[in-house]
Amino acid sequence: MEITIRPYTENDVPAILAIVNDNILNSTSLYDYSPRTLEKQSSLLAEKVAKNFPVFVAEIKGEVAGFSLYGEFRYREAYQFTVEHSVYVSEKFKGKGVGGKLLKYLIAHAKGHKIHTMIGVIDAENTGSILFHEKYGFKKVGVIKESGYKFNRWLDSVFMQRILK
């Protein structure tokens, strides 16, 4: 199964939105409560690109299988070489190598743009994502206890970091 990674286009937004909303409604991987609208998702992606941050999609046989992006970690000048990233894969394509290919591509892009460190913020219950990140060289660097509240319970946020060389 060939996986193609490419920059997203506006035509990809409905497929990205479906992945995002599935995660909002059915997981703690996004701490939003309500599904996003097409306009909101389109605006969020356009804002990333306007700030010169990447948004990539993974495509299998013409279908969006997942997406990845990174953006500002914090809004202070000294953080300009640190980014926070996200990788999401459609339920239909999980376990087929899509996430790994997206993350490797994102890491290579970050290195090429003089990014020093990448941060992932992952719900502590999402052990699959934590193990996935460890596989690609990320280390747990901290936990913020009860930092989110979703599905009528408190959630802990795990911070994972990879220093790029």
Residue 1: predicted pLDDT: 78
Residues of the chain with pLDDT under 70: none
Predicted local distance difference test score (pLDDT) of residue 165: 84
Handedness of CA 9, 115, 137, 120 (dihedral sign): negative
Q: What confidence score (pLDDT) does residue 76 get? A: 93
Total number of domains in the chain: 1
pTM of this structure: 0.95
Q: How far apart are CA 88 and CA 102, in angstroms?
A: 9
Contact between 69 and 41 under an 8 Å Cβ cutoff? The reply is no
Query: Is the Cβ–Cβ distance between 93 and 103 less than 8 Å?
Result: no
Domain residues for 47?
Answer: 4-163
82: CATH: 3.40.630.30
- Asked if 131 and 81 count as a contact pair (C-beta separation under 8 A), the reply is no
Sign of CA dihedral 85, 138, 58, 33: negative
- Tens digits of residue pLDDT in 129-158: 999 999 999 999 999 999 999 999 999 999
User: Which residues, in sequence order, are CB contacts of 54 under 8 Å at separation 6+?
Assistant: 7, 48, 69, 70, 106, 109
Q: Specify the pLDDT at position 45.
A: 97
Other C-beta atoms closer than 10 Å to the C-beta of 59 total: 19
What is the overall mean pLDDT for the chain? 97
Q: What is the DSSP string of 44-69?
A: HHHHHHHTT--EEEEEETTEEEEEEE
